[in-house]
Chain A
Amino acid sequence: MSNLITQNEIVTDDWALVNLPEVDQEVRKQAGKVVLFKLTGENTISAEQIANTQIPATGKTLVPLSVYLARKNEFAPRIAKQEIGIWLATHETLENLTKAEPNLNIFPLIAVYVERFADGRIFSIGNLLRTRYGFNNTLRAFGDVLRDQLFFLKRSGFDSYLIRADRSAEEALQSLKDFSQPYQGAVDDKQPVWRRVNRGQNNVA
């Protein structure tokens, strides 16, 4: 059975995920961007890896951001057919993407890969994609995605969640409803509770 939730329903996944070929050397992905890009300029993905990435010729294809950026021309005809989505990991910078593609809505799907449950960068990334960069299509979280993140992911602009394979998506659906009236404004509802309802008339419980 499918482990993909999109728009509060379990649906089948019709996107083919493309991965970069494995390399032996250790990749320092967990470090914050400061360490990786700003202070040391270190790059995590080699040109060779990018060149060697195999892309299926047809069908809905989810391409790594780095591959898309390096080989953009290849994808142009398929972009027109709405069959190219991109995915990025939480340590990658959105600025590279938005510089290359000012209009993100050419992608029917953007997916963000979270390697560890505790990596909360995914929430800021979702927020920025929706609020700063105007992405309106499907925004998916995948990787170490467990039910207890879903409420936060939803509030940060995600509407699609590929639950980790060993867990039940059916059960995870419950967690989308963990809280009925959150306090602060966020992506899914920009109004904080005091603008949403009249708390003045809502006196003592």
Chain B
Amino acid sequence: MYKYDQIDQQLVDERVAQYRDQVRRYLAGELSEDEFRPLRLQNGLYIQRHAPMLRIAVPYGMLSSRQLHKLADIATQYDRGYGHFSTRQNLQLNWPKLEDTPDILAELATVEMHAIQTSGNCIRNITTDQFAGVAPDEIIDPRAMAEVMRQWSTFHPEFALLPRKFKIAVSGTKQDRAIVQAHDIGMEFYRDAENKVAIKVWVGGGLGRTPILGTVIREHLEWQHALTYCEAIIRVYNLHGRRDNAYKARIKILAKALGIDEFRKQVEAEWLHLKDSPNTITEAELARVAQHFEAFDYASLPAHDASFDAAITSNAAFAAWAKRSVHPHKTSGYRAVTLSLKPHGKAPGDATSEQMHVIADLAAQYSFGELRVSHEQNLILADVKLSNLFAVWEKARAHGLATPNIGLLTDIICCPGGDFCSLANAKSIPIAQAIQMQFDNLDYLHDIGDIELNISGCMNACGHHHVGHIGILGVDKDGSEWYQVSIGGKQGNDASLATVIGPSFSAEEMPGVVQKLIEVYLKERSDEERFIDTVRRIGVAPFKAHVYATTAPKSEAAHV
């Protein structure tokens, strides 16, 4: 993975000093609340229900063992001994003290980490596929470009205070795993007819209050122009995006208001001036960065391993885990492994300091000292030998990291919700826990098969409920918490937004409602059909009919 040189290190060190002084000025009363807000947000510091929340950047989800050990230590020393991995591949601490945050950032800087631009109205952490570099279906490893873009976007002076936050995702696979269509800019790298690396650029996607999938603004962009083209897009947005209403300030609203053709015209006009300017990426610079992402020194191994095959046949629990948690790898004899941060009954995405140490050790011992965070809020060891999978499983299982539910109903994406977040309409973590307990039978879970259930505590959609096969949204009605259910959302190349099935439900009703949805699916599915396929084939109506026919009408139409 990318290693800092003196220039990178100096920059984060200078950031710590700058932020330390900002906190000092704030505490001394030299900065008002309003003046401090944009400054702290650009360092990932939110002020939440109980305490501040600090969001630490994990650029495109890559972590080293050393970094994860440090994060675990920070969570122990400055927080309550756990952290929360987020859908944007970052790590959040829920209980730090404001006064400690400069020290936390200083600690992070010692392991080449920071919290720069993890919040605020600026270009945020650039996200990508958690299997980048190892996925068999990968055409281009997007990580070097993601790093080039990370550097370019860090303290970009022109885009330091945008109308609203700005999220970029990149991907280099046929099967999109980075939800590029749900980002302000999405970039899909591919090889063009001349076998050169090119980019398909999407713009104006986003979830939140007004969920919109992105539109293609350019089918073919030579990779050298990635930065200048983004500059053209973001300049048009910076100048013309709405600043009077935070809910209408995202680029998606501008692109819709102008229409994609007019928006494209303005971007292209701007780009004429920026194209070939010095921010054009050179072969040499890309190569310098790319060498950090070169393939590891893999052993040459046969495609099969006898000990692994034996363990699969003799140990049903291991086999169940392997079926869900082990993913193909480019290199013969290697696999990627997902460690589940979704044990039933715990807050999805949380990891204790102890677990983080265990995972860091596993990565050091079995996976070249690196790991990744997935936007599904799990951790990935990307380069494990087949022959080591059993050992990894045993150790992971001993620490609650091997729930065999990856991609299943209880692998829930869930935002912090009302337990932590001051914007919430309703709690989301207890709903996730209740559903996990309802479906605690593993055989049943495996029978239900691939399904994504996403929960957000309000329409800001941090839990991606719009693209969940089942989406749950917390709504507020006269001060009490209700949940609106939608189905048919999907991420990926054939992304779609979910349809609301009807009036909302109370918290106690929720596990039963999910149960009902599953019943319809199990009854209606044809061979090999996943939940989402069945919904797409038969539509929302049968689900709706079953759920509302049998659910006592505690809920009422007013709660839609």
Contact = CB atoms under 8 A, between A and B. Distances in A.
A194 B243 contact: no
Contact of B159 (A39, A123, A179): A123
A185 B279 CA distance: 6
Contact of B239 (A33, A175, A183, A185): A33
B319 interface: no
Contact of B160 (A32, A120, A132, A195): A120
Interface stretch (B6-14, B337-345, B453-461, B490-498): B6-14
A99 interface: no
B98 to A, nearest CB: 17
Interface string B268-302: 00000100011100101100100000000000000
A195 B278 contact: yes
Interface string A65-84: 00000000000000000000
Contacts of A113: none
Interface string B1-42: 001111111110011001000100000000000010011000
B8 A155 contact: no
A178 B160 contact: no
Interface in A147-193: 148-149, 151-156, 175, 178-187, 190-193
B285 A30 contact: no
Contacts of B288: 194, 199-200
Interface in B154-183: 154-163
A69 to B, nearest CB: 19
Nearest to B158: A123
B258 interface: yes
A61 B8 CA distance: 44
Nearest to A202: B5
A132 B158 contact: no
Contacts of A205: 4-6, 8-9
A124 interface: yes
B154 A186 contact: no
A184 B151 contact: yes
Interface in A50-73: none
Given A194-B282, A194-B285, A152 B157 contact: yes
A33 B240 CA distance: 5
Interface size range of chain B in the complex: 35 or more
Given A127-B158, A132-B273, A205-B4, A179 B242 contact: no
B254 interface: yes
B160 A123 contact: yes
Contact of B161 (A39, A118, A187): A118
A154 to B, nearest CB: 8
Interface string B246-257: 000000001001
B121 interface: yes
B28 to A, nearest CB: 12
A76 to B, nearest CB: 30
A183 B161 contact: no
A197 interface: yes
A119 interface: yes
A194 B163 CA distance: 29
A117 B34 CA distance: 10
Contact of B157 (A118, A123, A204): A123
Contacts of B154: 183-184
Contacts of A127: 158, 235
Contacts of A148: 22, 39
**Residue of A127, A192, A200, A202 most packed against chain B (CB within 10 A):** A192
A31 interface: yes
B5 A124 contact: no
A148 B39 CA distance: 8
Interface in A3-42: 28, 30-35, 38-39
A155 to B, nearest CB: 3
Nearest to B228: A185
B23 to A, nearest CB: 12
A182 B8 CA distance: 9
Contacts of B257: 34, 39
A146 interface: yes
A199 B5 contact: yes
Contacts of A193: 7, 151
Contacts of B151: 183-184, 193
A176 B95 CA distance: 33
Given A31-B243, A146-B35, A186 B158 contact: yes
Contacts of A149: 160-161
A30 B243 contact: yes
B287 to A, nearest CB: 9
B254 A121 contact: no
Contacts of A199: 5, 7, 285, 288
B443 interface: no
Given A120-B161, A124-B238, A183-B11, A30 B5 contact: no
A203 interface: yes
Most chain B C-beta atoms within 10 Å of own C-beta, residue among A123, A181, A202: A123
Contacts of B241: 32, 34
B242 A34 contact: yes
Contacts of B279: 184-185, 192
B529 to A, nearest CB: 45
Contacts of A152: 155, 157-158, 160-161
Contacts of B158: 120, 123-124, 127, 152, 155-156, 186
B244 interface: yes
Contacts of A178: 14, 18
A181 B11 contact: yes
B152 A183 contact: yes
A45 B156 CA distance: 33
Contacts of A194: 282, 284-285, 288
Contacts of B285: 192, 194, 199
A119 B235 contact: no
Given A184-B155, A190-B278, 8 more contacts: A117-B38, A120-B159, A151-B155, A179-B155, A183-B152, A186-B156, A202-B6, A205-B5
11 contacts: A31-B242, A34-B242, A118-B38, A155-B158, A183-B155, A190-B278, A194-B285, A200-B288, A202-B6, A203-B5, A205-B6
Closest 5 CB pairs of A and B: A120-B161, A155-B157, A205-B9, A152-B157, A31-B244
Interface of B: 3-11, 14-15, 18, 22, 35, 38-39, 121, 151-163, 227, 235, 238-244, 254, 257-258, 273, 277-279, 282, 284-285, 288
Interface of A: 28, 30-35, 38-39, 117-121, 123-125, 127, 131-132, 146, 148-149, 151-156, 175, 178-187, 190-195, 197, 199-200, 202-205
